[in-house]
Structure 1
Amino acid sequence: MVELAFSTNAYTEYALPEAVRRIGAHGYDGVELLGDEPHAYFPTFGDDDERALCDALAEAGLSVSNVNANTAMGYYDDAPPSAFFEPSVVTDDDEAREWRVEYTKRAVDLAETVGSPAVCLATGRPLAGNPPERAREHLRASLHEILDYAEPRGIDVGIEFEPELLVECTDEVLALIHEIGRESLGVNLDVGHAAVYGEDLTETIHRSAGHITGVHLEDIVGGRRGKHYHRIPGEGDLDFRTVFDALDDVGYDGFVTLELYTYSHDPDRAADRAYEELTQYC
């Protein structure tokens, strides 16, 4: 039986401990921690912040489903448009790429501290002057370095594929997992991303069986080839019964995390409505 979690990336108008407490008040079993501003941006996330987070988790009675290290917007004083994943683990700038590798290691440290089973990571895009073949070489080297750090600490690393990134679909993430050949590398399966790419969700989940480190969930208007905008479950076109049945089919018993960063203006309403909608399936 899966458990429901909610990501703090919907609560960016609140400090991280308050976000955790609010999520706990809505009945969730777990919480995903945003590894970025304004929550756990690792270059400035110190011991006092960590203690305050642990106190809030204990008070709320929540487990941590995942540390979300997909973005590092805190890197910029004034972020350029679409800089969500930069610097990435595939960038051709050696210094920037190593910064991102070290940043992900700090996410692993936090995961170990709070008892999270995994961190998630997006590949980013191969930008101008960095052809996909070279970007994939950087990706392989970066992942091996991150996994060398994560494995002794018992932390899995889930690649979150997304349309228009270097790894953007199930075929590509499974090929990467096979190529890297390490059990601690898996997929943080964002069901909405699969739907927008045009994948059959039952097939995606079945093919990913045994490699799923975590699941992100949101509704999408239009389903396949729909618009990539995260909506509260029940306000789009995804068939969540199909999704939960497929997760049950493959024996997945981890967390399903609601990722509704699009509702930062009213996260409590989003958390409450999502919980009410999804408890019928689990």
Structure 2
Amino acid sequence: MRYAISSNVYTRFSLLESIERIHHCGYSALEILADFPHVSPLDVTYHEAKQVSRLLEQRGMSVSNINANTAVCVFPLAQNSGETIFEPSLCNRKEEVRLQRIRYTERCIDLAVEWGASCVSITSGKCLAGNHPDQAYEFLVDSISRILQYAEKRNIRIGMEYEPGLLIENANEAQRVLETFDCNSFGINLDIGHAEVLGEPLAETIQRFNEKITNIHLEDIRGHKHYHLIPGEGDIHFEAVLEALQSIGYDRYITFEIYPYSDDPDGAAKRALAHMMNYNYTH
């Protein structure tokens, strides 16, 4: 297992500044937030993308995942939806909104190729007014089908992340989506904290998804409240999590997602890594 950290805890800094700071905190990998203020995938220029590539190479940094879970950078198209985080979504009932999110995700796939990431994470979005879950699911499946056609040609895996409150919000619903496609290019971006919030047995959930896990999001959770804590500050038994990952031969990244700590991202990054290095499951 290799540790990375999501740049979404560094939202007070540019992406280039975030890469430098994460490097100085002792990391050799990061997840890149494909959203404001780090990258606006539909607007990023060739020169800007190459700047990131050069800095990653200079610092010997790898990219664990392109985080395409939120798209505030393209939100104006869906500004009347009342949802400001996950829209425009892949399950929105308006086709023009879904197509905007599909184009955004395709551009994230291009950036994954450019920056050497093997996977891009996505979410389903919420069921907004007038969009029954059954209908929303049909829209989601159609959107994912289009994204996978694009991703497969570029050898990038797409990882669905489930989250409480979304259309796809638990392991059973994520399993249903996986079985709908059943292809190597589609898997799960497994957020351990989300599983903990939902009361899902963590080791069993890891073993359930097994080789379908494209990336791990890791944070601590206390009292099943959906608030991302630094590992060691909540209730998660991380040794059991690491043992489960080792049992399935997981050799991809474990990415810390501790965005509530934007006031002191360096301190949070160092504390997260220091806590997890206490366990003997890293290389």
CA contact (8 A) 1:18 1:56 kept: no
Q: Which amino acid is the alignment partner of residue 235 of structure 1?
A: E
Q: Secondary structure at the match of 1:43?
A: coil
1:87 counterpart residue number: 88
TM superposition shift of 1:46: 1.1
What does residue range 6-85 of structure 1 map to in structure 2 within 5 Å? 6-76=5-75, 82-85=83-86
CA distance in 1 between counterparts of 2:131 and 2:83 reads: 17
> Where do 5+ consecutive residues of structure 1 fail to align?
none
What does residue range 156-171 of structure 1 map to in structure 2 within 5 Å? 156-171=157-172
Corresponding residue to 2:257 among 256, 259, 266:
259
Tell whether 2:148 aligns with 1:147: yes
Tell whether 2:136 aligns with 1:135: yes
TM superposition shift of 1:62: 0.9
CA contact (8 A) 1:219 1:234 kept: yes
TM superposition shift of 1:239: 0.8
CA distance in 2 between counterparts of 1:214 and 1:190 reads: 8
Q: Secondary structure at the match of 1:75?
A: helix
After TM superposition, the score normalised by the length of structure 2 is 0.95
CA contact (8 A) 1:25 1:60 kept: no
CA distance in 2 between counterparts of 1:207 and 1:188 reads: 13
C-alpha distance after superposition, 1:150-195 (max 9, x if no partner): 0011100000000111111111111111112222110000000000
TM superposition shift of 1:22: 0.8
TM superposition shift of 1:85: 0.6
Q: Secondary structure at the match of 1:134?
A: helix
TM superposition shift of 1:256: 0.2
CA distance in 1 between counterparts of 2:99 and 2:270 reads: 39
Q: Which amino acid is the alignment partner of residue 159 of structure 1?
A: M
CA contact (8 A) 2:91 2:140 kept: yes
C-alpha distance after superposition, 1:194-224 (max 9, x if no partner): 00011000110010101000000001111xx
CA contact (8 A) 2:156 2:185 kept: yes
1:102 counterpart residue number: 103
After TM superposition, the score normalised by the length of structure 1 is 0.96
Q: Which amino acid is the alignment partner of residue 175 of structure 1?
A: R
Corresponding residue to 2:275 among 262, 271, 277:
277
Q: Which amino acid is the alignment partner of residue 264 of structure 2?
A: D
TM superposition shift of 1:76: 3.5
Q: Which amino acid is the alignment partner of residue 50 of structure 1?
A: A
CA distance in 2 between counterparts of 1:140 and 1:181 reads: 12
Identical-residue share of aligned pairs (%): 44
Q: Which amino acid is the alignment partner of residue 272 of structure 2?
A: A
CA distance in 2 between counterparts of 1:81 and 1:248 reads: 42
1:232 counterpart residue number: 230
TM superposition shift of 1:82: 4.6
CA distance in 2 between counterparts of 1:99 and 1:175 reads: 25
C-alpha distance after superposition, 1:86-118 (max 9, x if no partner): 010000011011000010000000001111010
CA contact (8 A) 2:68 2:105 kept: yes
Q: Secondary structure at the match of 2:216?
A: strand
Change (3 A) 1:137 1:76: closer
Change (3 A) 1:134 1:81: closer
> Where do 5+ consecutive residues of structure 2 fail to align?
none
CA distance in 1 between counterparts of 2:59 and 2:11 reads: 18
CA distance in 2 between counterparts of 1:235 and 1:60 reads: 30
TM superposition shift of 1:58: 1.5
TM superposition shift of 1:81: 6.4
TM superposition shift of 1:43: 2.1
CA distance in 2 between counterparts of 1:185 and 1:30 reads: 22
Q: Which amino acid is the alignment partner of residue 3 of structure 2?
A: L
Q: Secondary structure at the match of 1:238?
A: coil
TM superposition shift of 1:41: 1.1
CA distance in 2 between counterparts of 1:76 and 1:254 reads: 31
**Pairwise CA RMSD of aligned residues?**
1.3
TM superposition shift of 1:280: 2.0
Q: Secondary structure at the match of 2:255?
A: strand
CA distance in 1 between counterparts of 2:275 and 2:156 reads: 31
Q: Secondary structure at the match of 1:274?
A: helix
